[in-house]
């Protein structure tokens, strides 16, 4: 099937031709046959790199009205925005932050790219524009199965379908075990395919050789099989990476932790990879770009490593550093990235060879196997279209676990996607939102709205009545809902909590903290007070508190007891509270003018962790201000602290883009 045979305006056919897209890939042709150009709902469960973006574009460009593209991460939203913006004559908008607005300015675009949280929050803030949508594309729809974000995605989609009843839905999924369930929910045709533009072979390494699923073997040289197990894994990974680069490819190596990613990069440094890849000059330039993006210790280590053609990538890095690494790798100015699994869920960084060194992760009490879906996402990064003759994914094991790895990940299928909506905290959030936005005005109304969710479609008799009843009682108790005639309505507090996009439990904690602070001696109410108040809510990320820091943090908490809204003896979970004191302390030093380097050094957190906590604190302080208004309490420390969190002269766009509760 040819692009010029599709119902697309000539300028789009020309645009795609320039992009090298003239003949449709088989899964794309199947999507056309399923009606993606005719406004029909389509679920495409197809591998990475099989051309999902084009399927999305077919839906968006043939729809009779504005389109919305929902994706899970800010970095991905940016990537898609740039791709769509290149389409001739198409006006594209992007929205990923600023959770208390209806984003009405988005109404004027042909296509809007947004994260699911942003769409959810825009709906809560009364976004009328969603009713006019003609096409909704959902990327990575398999994330329905994720505990934190899944419920938001399914409720948002159910609401969108209710609000924009005629809108076409195009859902893009990784290959999962039950795509037909997602298709049934969305009344969609299913396109399911294993087809890939570049062949992928997957294998397991053990004892100096890799056995692939196409029955080939690869001997790996330079391995000392008598190395202790931990070293043997690292050595084999390094050898597999060197081999890929020596043969003209790039490699991605996945390990379990940030530390391991940096250690592996260190190990590879001296391997002459930049020279082998012929990118010595380019790699030196990447090192400079890393330095230009801002200096911290870890940034400097990254720059030094990049100069050797090797980068590491993990959530502890500043987002700008991550972006430099991703772009440089895509442009083939780096030979290798040593990464934690988060890279596999993010932006598009294909490589000739993917090496998955660690297939287990720590759970706190032990280790568990990574989900098959996650490992397949990593492996799916192998094979760069138009560049590699084939892609290779290698799971590093040993004689003992070779068979287990083979059955589990090479032969094994990805898990099924299951709804997480029954989770009580998720239901509390969404019940409040449904009532506060006027979608539901009674328990029956909430149940009716939830009837459009994936959960309801998967459960023969969705038995949500009992738990929704309990959740409504809790919300009445929290003063967020109130009886209203025969039904229920949101209180001003409930409405504000929903609009500010914080969890009801956070709203409750903020109200209590604000009232306590207002009753304190004004001399005791400091930036630390405001920060402890927001850092102890469920919407702030935890900050790891090491055993060695604990005594000092305890001492700090004692000394500043009078400034806290939670007394030391009142905390329900003392350890968790002490961790939030650590977060608050770091942020308090930040507003007092400490530099990122000092904080990173002094508290052993990554620059990326600091960045995300500053963003969250800014969002939560803003929410606290709005909530203080509703409960009629004046607490100037909230606003003054929030203003000091964002350094003067920061681009306003950055502050708007910055809040993402799930990134």
Alpha helices in 314-464 (DSSP H): 319-330, 372-379, 402-405, 424-436, 443-450, 454-458
Minimum CB distance to ligand ADP, residue 20 (Å) = 5
Residue carrying the six token digits 């539901």: 440
Nearer to ligand ADP, 327 or 516 (CB): 327
Residues 428 and 471: their CA atoms lie apart, in Å, by 6
Nearer to ligand ADP, 198 or 396 (CB): 198
Contact set for ligand ADP, span 469-488 (CB under 6 A): none
Minimum CB distance to ligand ADP, residue 330 (Å) = 10
Q: Which pair of structure tokens corresponds to residue 472?
A: 């409504």
C-alpha distances (whole Å) from 413 to each of 178, 334, 342, 375, 584 are: 10, 32, 21, 11, 44
Choose the binding region for ligand ADP from 17-25, 333-341, 460-468, 579-587 (rule: CB under 6 A).
Answer: 17-25
Listed in sequence order, the residues at least 6 apart from 288 whose beta carbon sits closer than 8 Å to its beta carbon are 303
Minimum CB distance to ligand ADP, residue 198 (Å) = 9
Q: Phi and psi for 532 in degrees, rounded to 5?
A: -65, -35
Q: Tell which residue, 659, 538, 528, 517, has the closest CA to residue 582.
A: 528
Task: Out of 41, 42, 45, 52, point to the residue binding ligand ADP (CB under 6 A).
Answer: 52
Residues 346 and 348: their CA atoms lie apart, in Å, by 7
What is the DSSP pairing of strand 200-206 with strand 209-212? antiparallel
Task: Out of 26, 35, 280, 385, point to the residue binding ligand ADP (CB under 6 A).
Answer: 385
Task: Out of 48, 429, 496, 526, point to the residue binding ligand ADP (CB under 6 A).
Answer: 48
Nearer to ligand ADP, 24 or 581 (CB): 24
Nearer to ligand ADP, 27 or 622 (CB): 27
Task: Out of 41, 50, 116, 529, point to the residue binding ligand ADP (CB under 6 A).
Answer: 50
Residues 395 and 382: their CA atoms lie apart, in Å, by 12
Task: Out of 19, 38, 128, 463, point to the residue binding ligand ADP (CB under 6 A).
Answer: 19
Choose the binding region for ligand ADP from 47-55, 118-126, 404-412, 550-558 (rule: CB under 6 A).
Answer: 47-55
According to the binding rule CB under 6 A, does residue 25 interact with ligand ADP?
A: yes
Q: Cα 125 from chain centroid?
A: 23
Nearer to ligand ADP, 191 or 588 (CB): 191
Minimum CB distance to ligand ADP, residue 56 (Å) = 8
Q: Which pair of structure tokens corresponds to residue 206?
A: 């053990």
According to the binding rule CB under 6 A, does residue 257 interact with ligand ADP?
A: no
Minimum CB distance to ligand ADP, residue 28 (Å) = 6
CB atoms within 10 A of CB 521: 8
Minimum CB distance to ligand ADP, residue 659 (Å) = 26
Task: Out of 14, 35, 40, 53, point to the residue binding ligand ADP (CB under 6 A).
Answer: 53
According to the binding rule CB under 6 A, does residue 49 interact with ligand ADP?
A: yes
**Collapsing DSSP states into helix, strand and coil, what is residue 625?**
helix
Residues 623 and 31: their CA atoms lie apart, in Å, by 43
Nearer to ligand ADP, 60 or 303 (CB): 60
Residues 496 and 502: their CA atoms lie apart, in Å, by 9
Give me the long-range contacts of 405-409 (CB less than 8 A, separation at least 24): 405/204, 405/359, 406/204, 406/211, 408/359, 408/369, 408/372, 409/202, 409/359, 409/372, 409/375, 409/376, 409/379
Minimum CB distance to ligand ADP, residue 397 (Å) = 27
Alpha helices in 335-483 (DSSP H): 372-379, 402-405, 424-436, 443-450, 454-458, 465-477
Contact set for ligand ADP, span 429-458 (CB under 6 A): none
Q: Cα 205 from chain centroid?
A: 30
H, E, C per residue of 284-306:
HHHHHHHHHCCCCHHHHHHHHHH
Residues 370 and 277: their CA atoms lie apart, in Å, by 32
According to the binding rule CB under 6 A, does residue 138 interact with ligand ADP?
A: no
Choose the binding region for ligand ADP from 16-24, 234-242, 567-575, 587-595 (rule: CB under 6 A).
Answer: 16-24
Tell me how many residues contact ligand ADP (CB under 6 A): 16
Minimum CB distance to ligand ADP, residue 3 (Å) = 7
In this structure, what DSSP letter does residue 86 have? T
According to the binding rule CB under 6 A, does residue 28 interact with ligand ADP?
A: yes
Helix %, strand %, coil % of the chain (to 5): 50, 15, 35
Give Rg (Cα) of the chain.
Answer: 26
Task: Out of 6, 12, 15, 24, point to the residue binding ligand ADP (CB under 6 A).
Answer: 24
C-alpha distances (whole Å) from 443 to each of 62, 448, 466, 482 are: 39, 9, 10, 12
Q: Which pair of structure tokens corresponds to residue 534?
A: 């927001």
Q: Which pair of structure tokens corresponds to residue 51?
A: 């051309």
Choose the binding region for ligand ADP from 45-53, 60-68, 357-365, 437-445 (rule: CB under 6 A).
Answer: 45-53
Nearer to ligand ADP, 348 or 595 (CB): 348
Choose the binding region for ligand ADP from 50-58, 491-499, 594-602, 631-639 (rule: CB under 6 A).
Answer: 50-58
Choose the binding region for ligand ADP from 23-31, 521-529, 539-547, 631-639 (rule: CB under 6 A).
Answer: 23-31
Give 151-172 as a DSSP string. HHHHHHHHHHHHHTTT-EEEEE
According to the binding rule CB under 6 A, does residue 564 interact with ligand ADP?
A: no
Residue 354 · residue 252 · CB < 8 Å? yes
Looking only at Cα atoms, what is the longest distance across the chain?
78
Minimum CB distance to ligand ADP, residue 517 (Å) = 48
Minimum CB distance to ligand ADP, residue 7 (Å) = 17
Choose the binding region for ligand ADP from 15-23, 221-229, 462-470, 476-484 (rule: CB under 6 A).
Answer: 15-23
According to the binding rule CB under 6 A, does residue 89 interact with ligand ADP?
A: no
Nearer to ligand ADP, 45 or 534 (CB): 45
Residue 341 · residue 374 · CB < 8 Å? yes
Minimum CB distance to ligand ADP, residue 150 (Å) = 21
Nearer to ligand ADP, 120 or 140 (CB): 140
Minimum CB distance to ligand ADP, residue 334 (Å) = 19
Nearer to ligand ADP, 51 or 203 (CB): 51
Task: Out of 6, 32, 51, 311, point to the residue binding ligand ADP (CB under 6 A).
Answer: 51
Q: Which pair of structure tokens corresponds to residue 599?
A: 């904080």
According to the binding rule CB under 6 A, does residue 348 interact with ligand ADP?
A: yes
According to the binding rule CB under 6 A, does residue 21 interact with ligand ADP?
A: yes
Minimum CB distance to ligand ADP, residue 24 (Å) = 5
Choose the binding region for ligand ADP from 43-51, 228-236, 250-258, 351-359 (rule: CB under 6 A).
Answer: 43-51
According to the binding rule CB under 6 A, does residue 193 interact with ligand ADP?
A: no
Task: Out of 32, 45, 54, 141, point to the residue binding ligand ADP (CB under 6 A).
Answer: 54
Residue 361 · residue 368 · CB < 8 Å? yes
Listed in sequence order, the residues at least 6 apart from 647 whose beta carbon sits closer than 8 Å to its beta carbon are none
Contacts to ligand ADP by CB under 6 A:
19-21, 23-25, 28, 48-54, 348, 385
């Amino acid at each position: 099937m040819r692009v010029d045979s599709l119902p697309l305006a000539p300028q789009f056919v020309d645009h795609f031709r320039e992009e090298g897209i003239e003949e449709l890939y088989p899964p794309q042709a199947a999507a056309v046959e399923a009606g993606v150009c005719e406004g029909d709902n389509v679920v495409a469960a197809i591998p990475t790199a099989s051309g999902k973006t084009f399927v999305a574009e077919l839906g968006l460009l043939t729809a009779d009205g504005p389109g919305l593209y929902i994706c899970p991460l800010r970095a991905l939203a940016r990537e898609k925005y740039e791709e769509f913006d290149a389409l001739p004559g198409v006006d594209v908008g992007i929205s990923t932050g600023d959770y208390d607005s209806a984003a009405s300015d988005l109404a004027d675009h042909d296509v809007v790219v947004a994260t699911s949280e942003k769409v959810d929050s825009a709906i809560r803030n009364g976004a009328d524009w969603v009713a006019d949508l003609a096409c909704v594309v959902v990327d990575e729809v398999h994330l329905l199965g994720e505990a934190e974000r899944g419920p938001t995605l399914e409720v948002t989609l159910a609401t969108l379908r209710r609000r924009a009843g005629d809108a076409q839905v195009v859902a893009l999924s990784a290959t999962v075990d039950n795509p037909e369930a997602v298709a049934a929910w969305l009344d969609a045709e299913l396109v399911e395919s294993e087809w890939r533009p570049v062949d992928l072979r997957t294998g397991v390494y053990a004892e100096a050789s890799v056995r692939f699923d196409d029955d080939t073997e690869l001997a790996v040289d330079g391995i000392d099989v008598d190395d202790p197990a931990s070293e043997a894994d690292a050595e084999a990974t390094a050898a597999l990476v060197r081999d890929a680069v020596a043969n003209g490819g790039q490699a991605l190596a996945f390990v379990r932790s940030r530390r391991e990613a940096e250690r592996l990069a260190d190990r590879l440094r001296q391997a002459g990879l930049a020279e082998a890849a012929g990118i010595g000059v380019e790699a030196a330039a990447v090192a400079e770009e890393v330095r230009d993006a801002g200096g911290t210790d870890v940034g400097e280590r990254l720059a030094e490593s990049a100069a050797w053609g090797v980068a590491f990538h993990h959530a502890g890095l500043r987002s700008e550093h991550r972006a430099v690494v991703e772009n440089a790798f895509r442009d083939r100015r780096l030979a290798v990235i040593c990464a934690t699994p988060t890279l596999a869920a993010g932006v598009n960084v294909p490589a000739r060879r993917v090496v998955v060194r660690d297939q287990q992760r720590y759970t706190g009490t032990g280790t568990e196997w990574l989900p098959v879906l996650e490992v397949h996402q990593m492996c799916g990064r192998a094979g760069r279209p138009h560049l590699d003759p084939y892609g290779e994914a290698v799971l590093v094991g040993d004689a003992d676990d070779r068979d287990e790895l083979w059955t589990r990940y090479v032969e094994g299928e990805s898990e099924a996607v299951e709804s997480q909506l029954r989770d009580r905290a998720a239901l509390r959030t969404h019940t409040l939102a449904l009532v506060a936005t006027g979608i539901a005005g009674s328990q029956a109304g909430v149940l009716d709205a939830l009837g459009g969710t994936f959960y309801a479609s998967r459960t023969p008799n969705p038995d949500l009545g009992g738990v929704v009843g309990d959740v409504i009682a809790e919300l009445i108790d929290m003063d967020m809902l109130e009886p209203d005639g025969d039904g229920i309505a949101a209180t001003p507090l409930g409405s504000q909590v929903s609009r500010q996009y914080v969890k009801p439990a956070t709203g409750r904690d903020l109200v209590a903290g604000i009232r306590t602070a207002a009753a304190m001696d004004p001399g005791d109410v400091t930036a630390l007070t405001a920060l402890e108040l927001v850092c102890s809510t469920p919407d702030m990320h935890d900050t790891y508190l090491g055993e060695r820091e604990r005594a000092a943090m305890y001492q700090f908490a004692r000394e500043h007891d009078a400034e806290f809204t939670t007394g030391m003896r009142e905390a329900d979970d003392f350890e968790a509270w002490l961790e939030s004191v650590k977060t608050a302390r770091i942020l308090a030093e930040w507003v007092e003018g400490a530099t990122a380097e000092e904080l990173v050094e002094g508290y052993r957190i990554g620059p990326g962790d600091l960045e995300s906590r500053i963003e969250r604190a800014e969002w939560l302080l803003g929410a606290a201000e709005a909530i203080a208004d509703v409960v009629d309490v004046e607490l100037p420390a909230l606003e003054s602290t929030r203003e000091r969190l964002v350094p003067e002269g920061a681009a306003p766009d950055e502050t708007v883009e910055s809040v993402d509760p799930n990134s």
